[in-house]
Amino acid sequence: MSAAPKGPPGLKISVVGPSGSGKSTIANYLASESEGSSAFKVAPTYTQTVGCRILECERTIDGPLMPIELWDTGGSTDYESCWPAVMKDTDGVVLVYNPENEGHVSESGAWYDFFVKNNSLSDDQCIVFAFAPNAQPEIRPRTSPKLQHLNVVNITIEDGQTLLHQFDRFLRQVKKKLDTKAKKTAEFK
């Protein structure tokens, strides 16, 4: 009996970072059909994410539509027990912090350590969004020393297109990394 044909493999992307940094705002935007609109739709009131939400979207990355699971993680330490599940088998990490919040800047280093460094992911599998209302694209945002070697991108609420563009670039980079890993594994067999 032949195996059922497999569709294109999807990617699991974990969206992590301090509480109130904008993870759900960003995940909602990416998962919505809002490609045509240029600005985020911001919820009128902030609602803390309890545990983790999984959102789905599809992006075209050098080929057919690729299913993406976005694991939008609650940033409160009350939900720390969920983090191992968020980390497990993740293909990439989107780390979100608000560079205008001093606490976020320092906390973001710990998020990087936990989700990327201690999870044996390569830095290519991580993108950092500095999400602030007044971000200026040409100015490097305030960053934890632990993130200084990473791709840190300014994201503003007015500019959803930049977010989509950066997200697709990141997915392409993750896919390339995974393809290279799979090729190396096959060569060893």
Ligand X SMILES: Nc1nc2c(ncn2[C@@H]2O[C@H](COP(=O)(O)OP(=O)(O)OP(=O)(O)O)[C@@H](O)[C@H]2O)c(=O)[nH]1
Interface positions with ligand X (CB under 6 A): 19-25, 42-43, 46, 48-49, 74-76, 98, 131-133, 156-157
Distance CA 141, CA 135 (A): 8
Nearer to ligand X, 161 or 178 (CB): 161
Residue 125 makes CB contacts below 8 A (sequence gap 6+) with: 91, 92, 93, 116, 173, 174, 177
Q: Is 58 strand, coil or helix?
A: strand
Minimum CB distance to ligand X, residue 17 (Å)? 6
Nearer to ligand X, 75 or 160 (CB): 75
Minimum CB distance to ligand X, residue 143 (Å)? 15
Task: Give the closest residue to 139 by CA, choosing from 160, 129, 154, 161.
Answer: 154
**Of ligand X, Mg ion, none, which one does residue 95 interact with (CB within 5 to 8 Å by kind)?**
none
Sheet holding 152-155, edge to edge: 52-60, 65-73, 11-16, 92-97, 126-131, 152-155
Distance CA 102, CA 171 (A): 29
In 38-126, where does DSSP find H-type helix? 83-87, 102-115
- Site residues (vs Mg ion, CB under 5 A): 23-24, 49
Other residues' Cβ atoms within 10 Å of the Cβ of residue 26: 23
Minimum CB distance to ligand X, residue 145 (Å)? 21
Nearer to Mg ion, 131 or 175 (CB): 131
**Of ligand X, Mg ion, none, which one does residue 119 interact with (CB within 5 to 8 Å by kind)?**
none
Nearer to ligand X, 42 or 182 (CB): 42
**Of Mg ion, ligand X, none, which one does residue 154 interact with (CB within 5 to 8 Å by kind)?**
none
Nearer to Mg ion, 23 or 175 (CB): 23
**Of Mg ion, ligand X, none, which one does residue 90 interact with (CB within 5 to 8 Å by kind)?**
none
**Of ligand X, Mg ion, none, which one does residue 162 interact with (CB within 5 to 8 Å by kind)?**
none
Residue 150 makes CB contacts below 8 A (sequence gap 6+) with: 112, 123, 126, 127, 128
